[in-house]
Amino acid sequence: MRARNYRTVKGQPYTRKKFVRGFPPSKITKFTMGDTKSRFEYEARLVGLKKVQIRHTALEAARIAANRCLGNKLATNYCFRILPYPHNILRENKMIFGAHADRLQDGMKRSFGKPIGTAARVKPNQTIMIANVNADGIEVAKEALRLGSSKLPTPCRITIEKVQKEEAKAS
């Protein structure tokens, strides 16, 4: 099967991993990268524009592309996060094709499918990735998020916001 078969959001999410045996684990190795303890001036967001399912392999490819660009140009002067988690288990009813395949299977009768991977369901205008940088890294963050968005199955928009400094509250 091709990945585009799982892009559309259909039916109820299938997320109860407790009842499913043998599903492959998520390929996303890290959800937060860079310097997580520092404060940064700007926040660049990658926002998905359509309702779509993003497979865990696509999220991992986008993470690698964006993190490599940020790491090469900014060293450790950034914080990068992936927000959606792939909870939804994808199933496939594998069909045999070729000569005499009709004698070996019953087609779609009572087909349920075996788990083949996981996907994250993304709603319109939901943030997929966030890159926190200082003023000198805004262009690098835009480029990194653009590279990451090319790996995703939905059109995306990049927004840049200045982070408000939190003032200490007197009690």
- Is 22 inside any structural domain? no
- Is 154 inside any structural domain? yes
Query: Measured at the alpha carbon of residue 102, what is the angle toward residues 99 and 103, in degrees to the nearest 5?
Result: 100
Question: The domain that contains 131 carries what CATH number?
Answer: 3.90.1170.10
- Is 75 inside any structural domain? yes
- Is 130 inside any structural domain? yes
> Residues of 159-169 as b/e, b for ≥16 C-beta within 10 angstroms?
eeeeeeeeeee
> What total of structural domains would you count in the chain?
1
Q: Determine if the pTM surpasses 0.95.
A: no
- Is 74 inside any structural domain? yes
Range of the domain at 83: 5-9+27-90+113-162
Output phi, psi for 46, to 5 deg: -105, 115
Q: At which residue do the structure tokens 């299938």 appear? A: 14
- Is 98 inside any structural domain? no
Per-residue pLDDT of the chain (171 residues), as tens digits, is 566 777 777 777 777 776 777 778 888 889 999 999 999 999 999 999 999 999 999 999 999 999 999 999 998 899 999 999 988 888 877 776 666 555 555 666 667 778 888 999 999 999 999 999 999 999 999 999 999 999 999 999 999 999 887 644 444
